[in-house]
Amino acid sequence: MTMTAYSMKRILGESYPVLILCAILSLSAGLILHSQLESIKTLPLILVMVPPINGINNNVCSILGSRLTSALHIGTIEPKFGKQAILRKNIQATWIMSLGVFIFTSVIFFALSLISGINLLKSLTIMIAFFLASMAAIGVTMFCTIWLAFTSFSKGLDPDNVVIPIVTSIGDIAGVTCLIIAMKIIGV
């Protein structure tokens, strides 16, 4: 065995600070939820909604993030906003995917509300609120993903190590915030 390609010190040294920054960002998502414990008692279904809205939002934007960073490395996308066919197509694909997966998820929440004994009208409202919250969260997180990919690339940071972890933490905050706002609007 010759020299190993990985150094534990390097992996730990590079990752730990980013992980802690992300943890602090995600903790604020926890803090937002903590401030809404009363609403959660009224509608425990909110708890069921937290992992899907955060998880799917993060997955969708991570896929976009890694596609963008690959494209930036190859040079098919330039690190600036504005008219670029390939950037536009990536954004378009991301929206279509989000629409598809969140319509599916919203319908499941409609069914779950009905099963848990909530009446038809209220279940419909919950479904629409979840759907709108997820679309708003995707919009915010997508914008941050593109901006972070461009900025980290321009500054010479490795987008793979920076973009995805920070995007998922911002996604947590966006997901939880949009969910809570939507639930407040429908009056839970």
Partner 1 sequence: MPQSVNVRAIVIQGLSVLILCAIIEILTGNVMEGMQERITVTLPGLILVIPPLLDLRGNVNGALASRLGTALHTGIVEPKLSMTDELKINVVSSLILSLAASATIGVIASLIGLLFGMSIINFVALIIISVAAGFISGIILTALTVVISIFAYIRGWDPDNITAPLMATIGDLITMISIFIVVLFV
Residue 57 is encoded by which pair of tokens? 């939002």
What single-letter DSSP state applies at residue 187?
T
- Note whether 157 binds partner 1 by CB under 8 A: no
Least distance in angstroms from the C-beta of 79 to partner 1: 15
Least distance in angstroms from the C-beta of 149 to partner 1: 13
Closest by Cα among 89, 68, 76, 94 to 153: 68
Instruction: Select the residue interacting with partner 1 from 113, 145, 169, 177 (CB under 8 A).
Output: 169
- Note whether 89 binds partner 1 by CB under 8 A: yes
**CA 149, CA 66: separation in Å to the nearest integer?**
9
- Note whether 29 binds partner 1 by CB under 8 A: yes
Cα 60 to chain centroid, rounded: 7
Instruction: Select the residue interacting with partner 1 from 78, 101, 136, 139 (CB under 8 A).
Output: 101
Measured from the CB atom, the residue of 30 and 143 that comes closer to partner 1 is 30
- Note whether 27 binds partner 1 by CB under 8 A: yes
Least distance in angstroms from the C-beta of 31 to partner 1: 6
Residue 164's alpha-carbon distances to 45, 58, 102, 116, 123, in angstroms, are 28, 9, 21, 36, 34
- Note whether 158 binds partner 1 by CB under 8 A: no
Residue 86's alpha-carbon distances to 20, 65, 71, 92, 158, in angstroms, are 34, 14, 9, 10, 21
- Note whether 114 binds partner 1 by CB under 8 A: no
What residues contact residue 182 under an 8 Å CB cut-off, 6+ apart?
129, 130, 132, 133, 136
- Note whether 62 binds partner 1 by CB under 8 A: yes
Instruction: Select the residue interacting with partner 1 from 118, 139, 143, 160 (CB under 8 A).
Output: 160
Residue 160 is encoded by which pair of tokens? 């793979």
Measured from the CB atom, the residue of 39 and 151 that comes closer to partner 1 is 39
